[in-house]
Amino acid sequence: MSVLKTVCALDCPDACSVLVTVEGERAVQFRGDPAHPITRGFLCGKVQHYEDVVHSSDRILHPLRRIGEKGSGQFERISWNEALRITADRIRDVRGLHGGEALALYYYAGTMGNVHRFAPEALFNRLGATRLRQNICYYGADAGYAAVVGGGYGLDPEDVVHSDFICVWGCNVVTTQVHLIPFLDEARKKGARLVTIDPYRNRTVAASDDWVQAKPGTDTALALGLIHILARDDRVDRDFIKRRTIGYEQFLRGPVSRFPPERTAEVTGVPVAKLEELASRLASARSPLFKVGIGLGRHSHGAASVRAICCLAGVLGAYEKLGGGILYDAGCEFKPNLDAVKRPDWLERPTRWMNMTHLGTALTEWRDPPIRFLYVHGSNPAATAPLQARVREGLARDDLFTVVHERFLTDTALRADIVLPAVTFVESSDLYKSYGHLYFQYAKQALKPLGESRTNLEVTQALGKSLGFTDSWFDSSVEDLVREIFKTDHPNFQGIDAERVLSGETIRLNIPRGVSGFAEHFRTPSGKLEFVSEKLEREGLPAMADYRGDPFNIRPEAYPFRLLTPPAHSFLNGSFGMLERARKKEGGEPVVLVHPDDAGGIASGEEVELSNEHGSLRIVARVTRDTQPGVLVAEGTWWPLHGRNGRGINVLTSERLTDLGGGSTFHDNRVALRSVMAP
């Protein structure tokens, strides 16, 4: 028996250091590393039994070739040599007949490793393929954040302990960032108050001192209304505003002036008394902190919402206070030399881009040329992409050849022509950054790959050689590429030795402790916090954060309900949908939360139908006051094959993009609700 250290590769801010107990050829226990400054000896409930994933009897352990209809699940086992030959031959044929842009790579964060996540991009750059814009997660929120502060981290997550008022806004941290909780708890032990702003009662709301229940999509109006009250009562930090911001007076005269308390209450559903109380508590705080979630950006006003919250922190002068300001994304501080892995220099000419939110349209409508070859890894778009019916229609095309590198027969893999067996994170080595803390980690392989499963790098290199490429990159090891990744002059990397990282030591970025990320300047064009962005104005985009109603609710009489699809506690996107244990923890099948005022004669446990212009699905209702009238909540990205009629919740989501950044709008969809039992 041995205990080996690795890193959780899943799409989570925490990037935990994991101790794996191995007996023979089996991983038998997963524990959090007590020596890691963020992991602190515990894991989330999803990963603490990860041996169920590694040794699942449902793992794909050998290459497969489809022998039945797409989606039928009929495959035969083939050798790796045959799988590589078939795939390489199809790439040559498609490229020869239609050009490189008829090839497409689709991937996301099934692994967060810096080598294995990005390695396939090198091959597809070499092939001149359609490029992928990975906007499906955070682009809206990022654009809003950058518009005000210019990007970069605002707060070291370890400094949360110094805050005396914490506002978790649109982020269920108990489910999605559990290793932030000890820092929140330490601040609360020192007297900090925790308030959560969210449309429905989730685990973080239940653990908070107070709950502000705003209508979904009205966060911009709420932030503007709070700024209105603070300015009205002269409880803003005038010194900070004078020294370190631009456009404040214009911002007050414009958007802020339109949101006095009465109108803010009408728009957001938050009572005037609650608004006044929250504004007063923020103004009285020594070091107010706003924890902003990525999901906050996934609606039509997503960027504006994050902009407005950043402005709210600005009028309070929170950015200069230890433990104060905006806690959003620490990952932007990692500036590795990923070109060494992605090889953008291999792209002989600029090729077209595919916004990954628009996969359904790309597969069904693109011509000149149509996509004829699709390679998928680290994602299950038949479950997770918008316009699910269109995605599945595209994957069903006879003239589309699809290769999926996966661990399980997902809804996407079931529609593939070739399925290649993938490793889990304990079966590979890789370098990991985080977007929830400031530490680099290298994970060494802890377990021999099961069956014939291979890493992304191995598959990419083998496929490249099958296509005749002889560049030395196709013989590089993970360690070779990690050394290249650290060849950067960025100041955050000063003093970091690649060999120390490769030895397994946890290394913090070269960022001082106890200092705000914006202590000296903001990363905007002006170097100041920008209530008004001249850059965006020149581009014809909104110069200020503003709320202008609900532009996409164009058929309220047909589709009166707002549908939210936040994360489920036992899933991580679609990563644990294959586990019966995880599904049982979530109630055994998908459910939708319905407020009693909207239920009519619908009872908990009853099957209902949700529908809109994109499609329909059947799901079990749970009648509860955890949501609000007019708002339906369906937690988790369940695999469609586990749904009542073989459809997942994303059959109802659109391809609309956010106001800035071109991000997805998963939380901005309208639906109708009816009882299946009704005549």
In the chain, list all ranges with CATH 3.30.200.210: 2-54
The answer to whether residue 94 scores a pLDDT higher than 80 is: yes
Instruction: Give 343's strand partners.
Output: none
Mean pLDDT of 662-678: 91
Structure confidence at residue 679 as a pLDDT band (50, 70, 90): low
- Banded pLDDT at 678 (limits 50, 70, 90): low
Alpha helices in 12-79 (DSSP H): 51-54
- Reduced to 3 states (helix: H, G, I; strand: E, B; else coil), residue 16 is coil
566: nearest Cα among 112, 208, 216, 141: 216
Q: What is the pLDDT of residues 619-658, one digit of tens each?
A: 999 999 999 999 999 999 999 989 888 999 999 999 999 9
Name the residue type at position 620. Answer: V
Instruction: Please state which of the ranges 186-200, 227-241, 411-425, 555-569 shows the lowest mean pLDDT.
Output: 555-569
Which CATH code is given to the segment(s) 561-675?
A: 2.40.40.20
Alpha-carbon distance of 232 to 283, in angstroms, equals: 12
- Let me know if domain 2-54 sits in CATH 3.40.50.1000: no
Residues of the chain with CATH 3.40.50.740: 64-136+337-508
User: How confident is the prediction for the chain on average, in pLDDT?
Assistant: 96
Q: What is the pLDDT of residues 30-73, one digit of tens each?
A: 999 999 999 999 999 999 999 999 999 999 999 999 999 999 99
How many percent of the chain have pLDDT more than 90? 92
3-state SS class at 182: helix
Residue 269: per-residue pLDDT = 97
Tell the residue number behind the tokens 């595919």, with chain if given: 354
Segment 275-302 shows an average pLDDT of: 95
Identify the burial level of 234 via C-beta atoms within 10 angstroms of its C-beta, where 0-12 means exposed, 13-18 middle and 19 or more buried: exposed
Question: Which residue type, as a one-letter code, is found at position 332?
Answer: C
What spatial distance separates the first Cα and last Cα of the chain, rounded to whole Å?
62
Peptide bond into 336 cis (omega under 30): no
Instruction: Decide: residue 250, CB within 10 A, 0-12 exposed, 13-18 middle, 19+ buried.
Output: middle
Across residues 531-560, what is the average pLDDT? 91
pLDDT for 443-489, tens place per residue? 999 999 999 999 999 999 999 999 999 999 999 999 999 999 999 99
Higher-confidence residue: 572 or 366? 366
% of the chain at pLDDT higher than 70: 100
pLDDT bucket at 136, cuts 50 / 70 / 90: confident
Instruction: Quick: pLDDT tens for 301-347.
Output: 899 999 999 999 999 999 999 999 999 988 889 999 999 999 999 99
Q: Identify whether the C-beta of residue 166 lies closer than 8 Å to the C-beta of residue 187.
A: yes
Distance CA(323)–CA(310), nearest Å, equals: 15
Cα separation, 148 vs 531, whole angstroms: 6
pLDDT digits (tens, 9 = 90+) for 112-134: 999 999 999 999 999 999 999 99
Provide the residue type at 579 as one letter.
L
pLDDT one-digit tens code per residue, 175-226: 999 999 999 999 999 999 999 999 999 999 999 999 999 999 999 999 999 9
> What is the location of CATH 2.40.40.20 in the chain?
561-675
Overall fold of domain 64-136+337-508: Rossmann fold (3.40.50)
Q: How high is the pLDDT of residue 72?
A: 93
pLDDT of amino acid 175: 95
Q: Which CATH number fits domain 140-328: 1.10.3720.10, 3.40.228.10, 3.40.50.620, 3.20.20.70?
A: 3.40.228.10
In three-state secondary structure terms, 560 is coil
Whole-angstrom distance, CA of residue 87 vs CA of residue 83: 6
Q: Write the pLDDT tens digit of every residue in 11-27.
A: 999 999 999 999 999 99
Q: Which residues in the chain are classed under CATH 3.40.228.10?
A: 140-328
Q: What does DSSP say about strands 288-292 and 165-169: parallel, antiparallel, or unpaired? A: parallel
Q: Are 628 and 201 in contact (CB under 8 A)?
A: no
Given a cut of 80, whether residue 551 has pLDDT beyond it is no
Four-CA torsion 564, 570, 572, 573, nearest 10 degrees: -40
